[in-house]
Structure 1
C-alpha cells in the first residue's frame, strides 16, 4: 500500500500552476515561538501545536522530559525532505510503499562548552533515505534529485556543512 496518495496529482499540479501564474508570489515566513520553562526545559508553539525540548538528567539542569533541541533540528531536516519526497512523488505519479529518512550528525562538543575559539557547529550531517517502490530506477533518481533540490533545509545545510546523503531503493543502494 502506498504511503503517498497519487490521486492528489491533478490537484497539486493545478495548485502549482496557479502559483506559477500568480502576479506576485510572496515569500514564506515559517516561524516558531519558544519560552524557557525551567533550566533546559523549553516549550515551542507553531502552527497551533505545542511541543517541548529538554536535556537529559545527565546534564546539570536537565529533566529528560522531552527530546533534546538538536534532535528537533535534525528531525526538521528529515521532515522537510520527506515532505518534498511526498510532494514530488505526487507530481510524478510515483507510489511509495515506504519512505523514511534517518539523520545522523556529528558535533564537536567543545564548541557548545566554549572550549574552542570557533563557533559551535555541526562537523557533518549524514542521512539515509529509504524508499520502497515499483517505480523505475530512473524515475526514482529523478524523484531524489527533485526532493533534495526543493528542500529548503537541504539547500541551507548543504551550503553550510558537509552533507552526505545515501538513498536505499528497495533495500539496495541507489
Structure 2
C-alpha cells in the first residue's frame, strides 16, 4: 500500500475516533438504496449517485445482462473484506503490499422456487479466501485476519441476525 494511502487511512481513523469520542451520535450512518424493476426479472438499483443493473441468468428467468443479486452479495462481501483488511492493517501497523480475495457460494434453487420449503432460498455455504502479500510473518497476518473477521460489516450481516422490517405499499393502477 502506498504511503499516501496509508496516511489517508490513518487520518480517517484518527478523525473518526476523535469525532465519535466527542459525540457518539456521529458514529451513526444511514445508507440507502432503491430499485426499479424492468424486463422479466431485471432491476436498476440506485445507490446514492450511482446505479447498478441487476439481472438473472436465463435459467432463473433473466437475460444475463448483469450480475444477479447473490453475485452482488459476494462482491459486497469481498470488497468489504478488502476495505476492512486495509483499515485494520493500518490500525495494527501491519504492512500489506497486496490483497486479493475470492468467494463462492452454494445455492440450492429448490428454496427460491418453493419446491422444498426445508431448503433455504439463500446460500447454504459461502467460502472466502483472502490472499495477502507482504513482508510480515504469518502470525502477524493471522492477527490481521482475526481483526478483519471481527470487524467486517458485510460479514457481520451474514453471521448475525439483522432485523429487517419489510412493508408492502400498494398503488392502484388505472389500467
Normalising by structure 2, report the TM-score.
0.80
- Larger Rg belongs to: 2
Q: Measured at CA, do residues 122 and 17 of structure 1 come closer, stay the same or move farther in structure 2, by a change above 3 Å?
A: same
- CA gap of 1:38–1:77, structure 2 versus 1, over 3 A, is same
Answer yes or no: is the 8 Å Cα contact 1:12–1:91 preserved in 2: no
Normalized per residue, the structure richer in strand is 1
Evaluate the alpha carbon distance shift between residue 18 and residue 123 of structure 1 in structure 2; reply closer, same or farther with a 3 A threshold. Answer: same
Give me the whole-angstrom Cα distance separating, in 2, the residues matched to 1:140 and 1:3. 18
Q: Match of 1:123, SS?
A: strand
Q: 1:37 to 1:139 in 2, by over 3 A?
A: same
**Is the contact made by 1:9 and 1:93 (CA closer than 8 Å) also made in structure 2?**
no
User: Per-residue deviation at 1:114?
Assistant: 0.4
Secondary structure, counterpart of 1:21 in structure 2: helix
Q: Indicate the residue corresponding to 1:165 in structure 2.
A: none
> Deviations for 1:34-77, whole angstroms, at most 9, x for unmatched residues?
110111111011131111011123443x1221111110011111
- Partner SS state of residue 106, structure 2: strand
Gaps of 5+ in 2: 162-175
Partner residue of 1:78? 78
* 1:159 to partner: Cα distance: 3.3
Contact in 2 for aligned 1:6/1:94 (Cα 8 Å): no
Task: Measure, in 2, the Cα distance between the counterparts of 1:76 and 1:146.
Answer: 18
SS in 2 for 1:29: coil
Tell me which moved more, 131-140 or 3-12: 3-12
Question: Cα RMSD (Å) of the superposition?
Answer: 2.1
Moved over 4 A (4+): none
**TM-score if structure 1 supplies the norm length?**
0.80
As a proportion of its length, which structure holds more helix? 2
Does the CA-based 8 Å contact 1:95-1:133 persist in structure 2? yes
* CA–CA distance in structure 2, aligned partners of residues 99 and 24 of structure 1: 32
